[in-house]
Amino acid sequence: MIDLYTFTTPNGYKPSIMLEEIQLPYNIHKIDITKNDQFKPEYIAINPNSKIPAIIDQETGITVFESGAILMYLAEKTGKLLPSDQKGKYQVIEWLMFQMGSVGPMFGQLNHFKKYAPEKIPYAIERYEKETIRLYGVLDKQLSNNEYICGEYSIADIATYPWVAIYEMQGLTLNNHLHLKRWVETLQQRPAVQKGMSIA
């Protein structure tokens, strides 16, 4: 049994989608970041960085925080959604790192400055919107020759999808990135993605 500590954010959806895809049983523990639950001592004991998500694998006693690390752990635990050959494995890992180092931070900053910042700063909004659209282009090019990011469906797709799926909420469109749009629409139809994105 996996204990999943999470909330309804793009990063929070990654492990729930993964757990649905690999069909491991799990319990959800809601960490309401709007109420600062992530700063409670009992959660800091699980994740010293006070961010969601995190998991505890009751079978092994292993605790993992950081969404990318969680995806890798679950993939290696089950032998699913991460290639076993070195070339394929590292292609997936590099695109996972691309999501964690570029897509997540840049899209997240756009969210903040466009929707949540107390003061609208045009320079910040323009900067992060421009970078978000550039990253759409990187993904679109990769998907022009691949059904999924690395050819076969993998943790790279699971990591990236929740961030791209919010494009309408960000006031953006994928009409100029049709391969990326096709990929989003494909993933939207996966039952595990639907269920993983519906966590309370």
Per-residue pLDDT of the chain (200 residues; tens, 9 = 90+): 999 999 999 999 999 999 999 999 999 999 999 999 999 999 999 999 999 999 999 999 999 999 999 999 999 999 999 999 999 999 999 999 999 999 999 999 999 999 999 999 999 999 999 999 999 999 999 999 999 999 999 999 999 999 999 999 999 999 999 999 999 999 999 999 999 999 86
Alpha helices in 36-190 (DSSP H): 41-44, 67-78, 86-98, 104-111, 122-143, 155-164, 178-188
pLDDT at position 199, please?
85
With vertex at residue 81, the alpha carbon angle to CA 169 and CA 71, rounded to the nearest 5 degrees, is 60
User: Cβ distance 146 to 156 under 8 Å?
Assistant: no
First to last CA, the chain: 19
Structural domains in the chain plus CATH codes:
2-81 (3.40.30.10), 86-191 (1.20.1050.10)
| Tens digits of residue pLDDT in 150-188 | 999 999 999 999 999 999 999 999 999 999 999 999 999
